[in-house]
Amino acid sequence: MTIQEPATARPAGRPRSEKAEKAIIDATLDLIGEGTGLVELSIEAIASRAGVGKTTIYRRWSNKEDLVADALATLQAPLPRLAGVSVRDDLIVLLDSMRSEAGQVRTRCVMNIAFSESDRYPRLMERFVDIAVEPRRQAMREVIRRGIASGELRPDIEVEMSMAILSGAMIWHHKWGPADGLPADLAERIVDHLLPGLAA
């Protein structure tokens, strides 16, 4: 009976500051967003940016990888709502959400990391893929499958290959396209350029 709420039992003593925790995560994302690679990203810089002692960081995360993983997990942008009417429209919405996210500094640098440091931080990347990449992949997969089922797309196209082509085109522009933002109608142009080859 003395035990009331074991799940929320406070362990006595000063509670951890949620403000500090948020500041640490924000500082981490800020630094990554400014182009700091994972290797150069230092706990000291994060602490300084967050206005926090290093102790406060080490008390919560034992290493850089864990911290960054938690920080990236908070980025989880919402998936766009799909109308589900036409394949063309849905694909455009999906690709255009890639485009607009690519315009944000944070996403941009997270993508850089996903490209360059996947070899060095495999566990981190695995987690990042689960959180950010796979849901989008799944959404696009379903759009294409639905298109095949409805007869809008040829039944003999390879689903995964089509996804690779659509995403690849957007990634290519993201990386080597005009530096001053991608054109607003890019997603539309990509889809319309590809659809004739995929349509039934």
CA distance 55 to 71: 18
Contact characters 165-184, a second copy, x per CB under 8 A: x-xxxxxxx-xxx-------
Q: What residue spans of 87-133 are helical by DSSP H?
A: 87-103, 105-116, 122-128
* Closer Cβ to a second copy, 56 or 118, answer by number: 118
193-198 contact pairs (CB < 8 A, 24+): 194/165, 194/166, 194/169, 195/87, 195/88, 195/91, 198/153, 198/154, 198/157, 198/162
> φ and ψ at 153, to 5 degrees?
-115, 155
Q: Which of 22, 35, 53, 84 binds DNA (CB under 7 A)?
A: 53
Q: First and final CA of the chain: distance in angstroms?
A: 69
35 part of the interface to DNA, by CB under 7 A: no
Q: How far is the CB of 123 from DNA (least distance, A)?
A: 16
Q: Is 153 helix (H, G, I), strand (E, B) or coil?
A: strand
Q: How far is the CB of 109 from a second copy (least distance, A)?
A: 8
Q: What residue spans of 105-185 are helical by DSSP H?
A: 105-116, 122-128, 134-150, 159-176
189 part of the interface to a second copy, by CB under 8 A: yes
Q: Which of 78, 119, 155, 180 binds a second copy (CB under 8 A)?
A: 119
Q: How far is the CB of 164 from a second copy (least distance, A)?
A: 5
54 binds, among DNA, a second copy, none (CB under 5 to 8 A by kind): DNA
Binding site for a second copy (CB under 8 A): 35, 37, 39-40, 112-113, 115-120, 133, 157-158, 161-162, 164-165, 167-173, 175-177, 189-190, 193-198
Residues within the interface to DNA (CB under 7 A): 10-17, 20-21, 23, 40, 42-45, 51-56, 58-59, 63-64
